[in-house]
């Protein structure tokens, strides 16, 4: 694997395409979007972790529980913070 991701980068990757196409924050929060793949597992809301230690994640958070093919303790990120970060980059790209 050439490009190793951090948990934060995986959380951003989960929502980037949706933010760039114009989906709203409320739409993402209610979507319970998630991905479970070779590189990472990330999701908006729901439950994350392994039994018996499941952690409930609110729909305003993104949880990453696997990164670069390795299971990790769930890392939780603010959906709004990452959404705003991507939006600010989209605006900057559009201006230049």
Per the CB < 8 A criterion, the answer to whether 6 and 77 are in contact is no
Q: Is the pLDDT of residue 94 over 60?
A: no
Phi, psi of 78 (to 5 degrees): -75, 120
Q: Confirm whether 70 is domain-assigned.
A: yes
Q: Is the pLDDT of residue 72 over 80?
A: yes
Q: Confirm whether 68 is domain-assigned.
A: yes
Cβ-Cβ contacts under 8 Å for 3 (sequence gap 6 or more): none
**Backbone conformation region of residue 46, classed left if phi is above 0, alpha if psi is from -120 to 50, else beta:** left
pLDDT of residue 85: 96
pTM, two decimal places: 0.88
pLDDT of residue 81: 97
Count of domains forming the chain: 1
Per the CB < 8 A criterion, the answer to whether 63 and 57 are in contact is yes
- The mean per-residue pLDDT over the stretch 6-30 comes to 97
- The boundaries of the domain holding residue 13 are 7-89
Q: Confirm whether 94 is domain-assigned.
A: no
> Of how many residues is the chain composed?
96
């Amino acid at each position: 694997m050439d490009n190793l991701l951090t948990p934060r980068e995986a959380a951003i990757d989960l929502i980037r395409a949706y933010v760039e196409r114009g989906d709203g924050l409320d739409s993402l929060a209610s979507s319970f979007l998630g991905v479970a793949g070779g590189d990472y597992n990330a999701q908006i809301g729901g439950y994350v972790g392994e039994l018996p230690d499941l952690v409930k994640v609110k729909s305003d958070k993104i949880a990453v529980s696997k990164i670069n093919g390795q299971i990790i303790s769930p890392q939780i990120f603010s959906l709004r913070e990452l959404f705003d970060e991507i939006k600010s980059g989209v605006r900057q790209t559009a201006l230049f």
